[in-house]
Copies of this chain bind each other. A is one copy, B any other.
Amino acid sequence: MRVVLVGEASEHRENLLAAMPAAQAARTEVVDLPREAAYSSDFDHAFHPDDAVVTLRMQRGGAPLPPMRMLHVPGAGLDGIDIVRLSPETILCNVFEHEIPIAEYVLGAMLDWEIDFTALRASMTDGGWSDRYRSRTPHGELFGKTVAILGYGRIGQTVACRADAFGMRVIAVDPMMPDKTDPSGIAERIDHPRDLAEAAREADYLVVTCPLTDDSTGIVDARVLSALGTNGVVLNVSRAEVVDEGALYAALQDRTIRGASLDVWYRYPKGADDQVSPANHDFLALANVKATPHSCAWTRELSRRRYALIAANLAALEEGRPLLNRIRRDA
């Protein structure tokens, strides 16, 4: 089988081949195409109708995409693919796996709000071990605390399962679960987003894992943050705009909430060397903000797992077996 890796996917040739049994690797021809092949019809001739194509983006400015047997997106988001211009014959699949590192980031961040490793470590050297040992100040625990998870999909549920192991109480908030019960039994209840302020009022931690949609934009607003209160921490690992920027900045500056762990931002660089600030307000200057550079899912293991799933799907395609993460397009 011919497998075409477009743009940054071609950086993962080794991950793909390493995940294949030797026999599969031997019968797989891997072809690299540059990033431009995702956008320009000048490259249409380079795709064969029997190819499996791995790419995050495939658009022809509104014109039909070249025929191909499978288009495998090596990420979760399909926004780079002009799906309606893709032949109905083409099999479309994606990959997830980022729920694992994101959940690890969320739990690590919550534990850090409780334990404050940075301060504990600094205290070993500031002023000397003996005095510090005699005057230790107690820290907090996750056990028994409440986490509200906005967006109870793959990421939210992966967070919930770990939070549950720590003895936390879990409240989920999601519009897609109208019967309000969690099949896993972990979430105490599943609220509709219209009741987000009530969930925030009960929560010590508000974790934002929902997609950005018209409905979710700014849903964490001044009212929700006020309900979260002075013991509450916001953790955003989804999209910045789910949280109203001005309201968040005011709540943090005025300390009407305890703090925030922010991994996603209101402004991103668009090109190879432009310089933008991460937000319109100076969040980085606030002592109760723990800011990270959109890194929560960015692990060495993520790409290995994703390309291992792609390798398994390529074998399933060859052998006529069911595919993982196939996108239904009849809807």
Contact = CB atoms under 8 A, between A and B. Distances in A.
B167 A124 contact: no
Contact of A165 (B129, B165, B272, B294): B165
Interface in A285-304: 290-295, 298-303
Given A143-B100, A144-B301, A299-B139, A293 B132 contact: yes
A118 to B, nearest CB: 6
A108 B112 contact: yes
A105 B120 CA distance: 11
Q: Which secondary structure characterizes the binding site on chain A?
A: helix
Closest 3 A-B residue pairs measured CB to CB?
Answer: A165-B165, A108-B111, A130-B269
Interface stretch (A33-41, A58-66, A199-207, A276-284): A276-284
A161 interface: yes
Interface string A164-176: 1111000000000
Interface of A: 100-101, 104-105, 107-109, 111-112, 114-115, 117-118, 120-121, 123-125, 128-134, 136, 138-144, 161-162, 164-167, 265, 268-269, 272, 274-278, 284, 290-295, 298-303
Given A104-B115, A120-B295, A124-B293, A133 B269 contact: yes
A110 to B, nearest CB: 9
Contacts of A302: 138, 141
Contact of A124 (B117, B132, B165, B284): B284
23 contacts: A100-B141, A101-B141, A108-B111, A108-B114, A112-B117, A117-B290, A120-B292, A124-B284, A124-B291, A124-B293, A125-B284, A129-B265, A130-B274, A131-B275, A132-B293, A133-B293, A133-B294, A136-B293, A138-B303, A140-B300, A140-B301, A141-B301, A164-B165
